[in-house]
Amino acid sequence: MVWPAVGLWFGLQLDPTMFGKSPSFAFIAAWGDEGTWSAVIGLCAVLRLAALTINGTFEGFAFSPHIRAFASLVGVGIWSQVSLGFLMAFLTAGGAFSGFIGWSTMVVLELWNVFRSWSDVGKNAAER
C-alpha cells in the first residue's frame, strides 16, 4: 500500500492544478488544496514505508504487527476520505464513478491489512 500513497503524493507534487482538471475532485478540493492533500498523503506514505521497514528489519520484534496495523488504520482513514470525496463528486458534481471504485479498493485492501496485522498480534501472543 506504499505505492498508491507514493504515487498520489508525487502526482500532487508534479501537478499542483490536478483538482481543477476534473469534476471528480470537486469535494476533495473543497476539503483541502493539492498541497494539503500532498502533505497528508506523503505522511501516510512515509508511515507505511517505516512500518514495512520495521517489519522486515527487526526479526522477532513483538510490536511489528501493531505498527503495521496502525499504519493500515491511517491508510483506511485517508483512503476512505478520498473515496468519499469521489463518491460525493459522482453523486452531485458530475464526477466519474471509477474514482470511487478505484480508491475504495484501497480502503478494502487496508482493512485486510489491519485484519492480517491483528492476526499476527494474536499469533505472537500465542507463541509467548
Judge whether residue 127 has pLDDT over 90: no
- Give me the pLDDT at residue 120, please: 85
Q: How confident is the model at residue 27 (pLDDT cuts 50, 70, 90)?
A: very high
Q: How confident is the model at residue 126 (pLDDT cuts 50, 70, 90)?
A: low
User: pLDDT digits over 32-47, tens only?
Assistant: 999 999 999 999 999 9
Q: Which amino acid is at 125?
A: A
Give the angle 115-120-124 at the CA atoms, nearest 5°. 150
Average predicted confidence (pLDDT) for the chain:
92
How would DSSP label each residue in the chain?
-HHHHHHHHHHHHH-TTGGGG-GGGHHHHHH--HHHHHHHHHHHHHHHHHHHHHHHHSTT-TTHHHHHHHHHHHHHHHHHHHHHHHHHHHHHS---HHHHHHHHHHHHHHHHHHHHHHHHHHHHHHH-
User: pLDDT digits over 52-81, tens only?
Assistant: 898 878 777 788 889 999 999 999 999 999
Q: Where are the domains of the chain?
A: 2-127
